[in-house]
């Protein structure tokens, strides 16, 4: 029997008696003990100390009592391992705001700051990082759980040190074998969460709008001293293929402008630039958005050209009014110094207005999208899983791989068994997290599997219970097995009639075939019976039919027997003959005979079996 102590808040400690303990210890889960204690004279000094928030000390570990149930005979209570209580009661107020990439040690320092616990990280994890969002502003236990989930790691607390590793495990050659050291194995197969189809969405494009098309809106108005000047236009026209826009009206007067409308969320515009170009201002919706550009180009052998200018993005999706005006010289243009005024040319025609619109559809909104259908869909049909949405994916290949890993398209098989130590073969040191060989012939299992939870007891004579890691039967395996079964059935059963095909029955009785007496199938006659009635035998006798007919059931399912009691002359629930036999039994005489036999046996035992004459 393992010792159990209880300690109150003042530090007083006493040993308990008349108790039983069940301890549960699972990977990355609360470690608890359930204690049942009977009140006796022997534990009168310690029994009253079993109260909430006092501490159980069991196997050199502390468990805080969190739940108690008192009865007339004793108390049942549950204690949670000290580390889970300490970390749950510590709140980390600091927070790393936004989305950040941080190393595991940095995050552990934040999560365990002020907890009184230190940590040790396995060397292979020291330089690993993960993306976290708004890390902090939670209990230390919540943050530690988040770290374990983000990095895919496990933790184990020993004393005041928390050990972190990918797996806290040992690979052993220990065996759990049916009919050897295993009792009462059970296999549970869960299909509740099976899904066969999933969609994925990667990172969204940062810009909410996308370029749509070029169009010519035409001028809706103008103001100033615009004029046509063929000689001037010829002077600035270029034969360069990029100058696909024809000259329109020209102005050299500051603040002259033209206007046009467009519908969309953004604007780019093709403009004619020249060696005499000046600065032009775009004014959208009366000043809601403005931009000034230079139409100066310094290529002497190419005095005019066509350039595209990005004017505005992220506008409201509606029709906008644009005013384009000459605002002055470009100070960096050497050809418009002194009295030489800049030239502003309004394009005459051509697709000059580039319009942006809001992104539409998944392919425009996300940098990558994908979908995946499991082979299991051929067996169970399409079962939709929750879509995967993750900004870390920007290409389709990596997103599809993530979908395959995310989709729950497999059977989960969990094993639970009672382990019996065989002293003659040596005690196996099996701990939580260990990999052991599991050989369960009834289930066809022969694998190395992990012990994920151990339930043991203070009474060493009680076998501990092991819960083994989940076995997965993959979607491909299930689909292949289903196809094999379907193919086999197709050979045996006619799909149209549902009957066994004659070709599937490989049985031939030849003329020379000999059978033992009574086993010749050609000589067997199958009897047939009619239904029974109150006067005619059939599948049952008429007498049994009459008895059953007198038994009824009420609306509540209670049996109603309408057969009357028996008498000396009338059959009932028993025959009249049996009634007479039971009536004539002399129970007092039977009782006297039994007492006489007991007396004689006692006398014989007193004489050591010798008979006295």
DSSP element (H, E) containing 580: helix 576-583
HSE toward the beta carbon, residue 404, CA cutoff 13 A:
10
In a domain? residue 555: no
Q: Judge if 124 and 156 occupy the same domain.
A: yes
Q: Judge if 314 and 393 occupy the same domain.
A: no
Q: Splitting the chain (613 residues) into consecutive groups of 10 residues, what average pLDDT does each group show? A: 92 93 87 94 92 94 94 92 94 91 94 94 90 91 92 91 89 76 68 86 90 75 80 42 61 90 91 88 93 85 75 93 93 87 78 89 91 84 91 90 86 68 58 80 73 86 77 51 52 56 53 63 68 80 77 68 76 81 81 85 67 45
Q: What is the CATH number of the domain that holds 119?
A: 3.55.50.40
The predicted-structure confidence for 113-155, as pLDDT tens digits, reads as follows 999 999 999 998 988 998 888 999 999 999 999 999 899 899 9
As a whole number of angstroms, the distance between CA 595 and CA 300 comes to 140
pLDDT of residue 356: 93
197-201 vs 369-373, strand pairing mode: antiparallel
In a domain? residue 263: yes
Q: Judge if 396 and 352 occupy the same domain.
A: no
Tokens 């045996």 identify what position?
492
DSSP state of 564: P
pLDDT of residue 570: 82
In a domain? residue 221: yes
Q: Judge if 38 and 122 occupy the same domain.
A: no
Give the helix ranges, DSSP H, for 456-541: 475-492
- With beta carbons less than 8 A apart as the criterion, state whether 3 and 35 touch: no
pLDDT of residue 10: 92
Kindly report the CA angle at 16 between 14 and 19, in degrees rounded to 5? 165
pLDDT of residue 235: 40
In a domain? residue 474: no
Instruction: List CB contacts of 436: < 8 A, sequence separation 6 or more.
Output: 172, 174, 175, 176, 428, 430, 448, 449, 450, 451
pLDDT of residue 524: 65
In a domain? residue 333: yes
- Choose the final residue of a domain: 406, 437, 465: 406
pLDDT of residue 214: 83
Q: Judge if 383 and 348 occupy the same domain.
A: no
As a whole number of angstroms, the distance between CA 185 and CA 417 comes to 4
As a whole number of angstroms, the distance between CA 258 and CA 324 comes to 6
Hey, is 406 helix, strand or coil? helix
Of the chain, the end-to-end C-alpha distance in Å amounts to 58
- Choose the final residue of a domain: 85, 118, 134: 85
pLDDT of residue 256: 92
Q: Judge if 242 and 382 occupy the same domain.
A: no
pLDDT of residue 500: 52
Q: What is the CATH number of the domain that holds 346?
A: 2.60.120.260
Q: Judge if 51 and 63 occupy the same domain.
A: yes
The predicted-structure confidence for 190-249, as pLDDT tens digits, reads as follows 667 888 899 999 999 988 899 988 877 566 788 888 887 654 444 444 444 444 556 678
As a whole number of angstroms, the distance between CA 120 and CA 158 comes to 11
Closest CA to 470 of 449, 455, 456, 453: 449
Q: Judge if 306 and 225 occupy the same domain.
A: yes
Q: Judge if 338 and 378 occupy the same domain.
A: no
Q: Judge if 251 and 274 occupy the same domain.
A: yes
In a domain? residue 476: no
Domain count, the chain: 5
Token pair of 223 as six digits: 């103001």
In a domain? residue 479: no
pTM over 0.85: no
Q: Judge if 158 and 221 occupy the same domain.
A: no
Give the domain range for residue 568.
564-613
DSSP state of 174: E
pLDDT of residue 338: 85
In a domain? residue 271: yes
pLDDT of residue 433: 82
Q: Judge if 142 and 269 occupy the same domain.
A: no
């Amino acid at each position: 029997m393992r010792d159990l102590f209880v300690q109150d808040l003042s530090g007083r400690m006493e040993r308990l008696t008349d108790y039983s303990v069940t301890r549960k210890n699972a990977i990355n889960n609360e470690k608890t003990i359930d204690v049942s204690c009977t009140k006796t004279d022997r534990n009168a000094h310690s029994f009253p100390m079993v109260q909430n928030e006092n501490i159980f000390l069991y196997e050199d570990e502390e468990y805080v009592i969190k739940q108690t149930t008192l009865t007339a005979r004793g108390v049942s209570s549950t204690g949670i391992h000290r580390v889970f209580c300490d970390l749950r009661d510590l709140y980390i107020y600091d927070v790393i705001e936004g989305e950040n990439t941080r190393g595991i040690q940095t995050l552990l320092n934040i999560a365990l700051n002020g907890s009184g616990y230190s940590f040790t990280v396995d060397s292979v994890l020291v330089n690993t990082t993960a993306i976290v969002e708004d890390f902090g502003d939670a209990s230390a236990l919540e943050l530690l759980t988040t770290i374990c989930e983000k990095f895919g790691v496990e933790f184990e607390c020993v004393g005041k040190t928390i050990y972190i590793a990918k797996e806290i495990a040992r690979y052993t050659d220990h065996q759990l074998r049916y009919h050897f050291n295993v009792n009462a194995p059970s296999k549970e197969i869960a299909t509740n969460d099976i899904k066969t189809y999933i969609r994925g969405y990667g990172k969204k494009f940062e810009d909410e709008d996308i370029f749509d098309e070029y169009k010519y809106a035409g001028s809706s108005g103008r103001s100033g001293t615009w004029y046509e000047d063929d000689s001037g236009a010829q002077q600035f026209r270029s034969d360069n293929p990029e100058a696909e826009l024809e000259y329109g009206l020209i102005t050299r007067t500051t603040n002259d402008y033209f206007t046009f409308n467009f519908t969309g969320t953004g604007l780019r515009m093709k403009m004619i630039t020249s060696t005499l170009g000046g600065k032009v201002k775009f004014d959208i919706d009366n000043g809601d958005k403005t931009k000034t550009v230079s139409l100066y180009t310094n290529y002497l052998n190419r005095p005019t050209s066509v350039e595209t200018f990005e004017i505005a993005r992220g506008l409201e999706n509606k029709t906008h009014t644009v005013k384009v005006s000459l605002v002055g010289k470009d100070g960096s243009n050497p050809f418009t110094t002194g009295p030489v005024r800049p030239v502003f040319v309004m394009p005459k025609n051509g697709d000059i207005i580039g319009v942006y619109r809001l992104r539409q559809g998944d392919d425009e909104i996300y940098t990558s999208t994908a979908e995946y259908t499991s082979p299991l869909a051929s067996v169970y049909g399409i079962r939709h899983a929750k879509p995967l949405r993750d900004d870390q994916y920007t290409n389709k290949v990596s997103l599809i791989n993530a979908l395959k890993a995310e989709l729950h398209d497999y059977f989960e098989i969990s094993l639970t068994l009672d382990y019996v130590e065989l002293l003659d073969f040596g005690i196996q040191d099996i701990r939580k997290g260990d990999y052991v060989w599991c050989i369960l012939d009834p289930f066809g299992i022969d694998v190395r599997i992990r012990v994920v939870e151990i339930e043991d007891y203070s009474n060493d004579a009680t076998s501990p219970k092991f819960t083994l890691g989940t076995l997965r039967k993959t979607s491909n395996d299930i689909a292949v097995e289903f196809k094999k079964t379907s193919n086999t059935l197709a050979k045996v059963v006619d799909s149209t009639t549902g009957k066994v095909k004659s070709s599937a029955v490989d049985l031939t009785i030849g003329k020379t075939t000999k059978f033992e007496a009574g086993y010749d199938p050609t000589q067997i006659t199958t009897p047939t019976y009619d239904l029974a009635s109150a006067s005619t035998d059939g599948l049952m006798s008429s007498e049994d039919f009459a008895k059953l007919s007198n038994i009824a059931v009420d609306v509540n399912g209670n049996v109603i027997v309408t057969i009357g009691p028996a008498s000396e002359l009338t059959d009932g629930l028993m025959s009249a003959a049996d009634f007479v036999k039971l009536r004539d039994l002399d129970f007092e005489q039977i009782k006297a005979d039994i007492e006489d036999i007991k007396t004689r046996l006692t006398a014989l035992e007193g004489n050591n079996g010798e008979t006295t004459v």
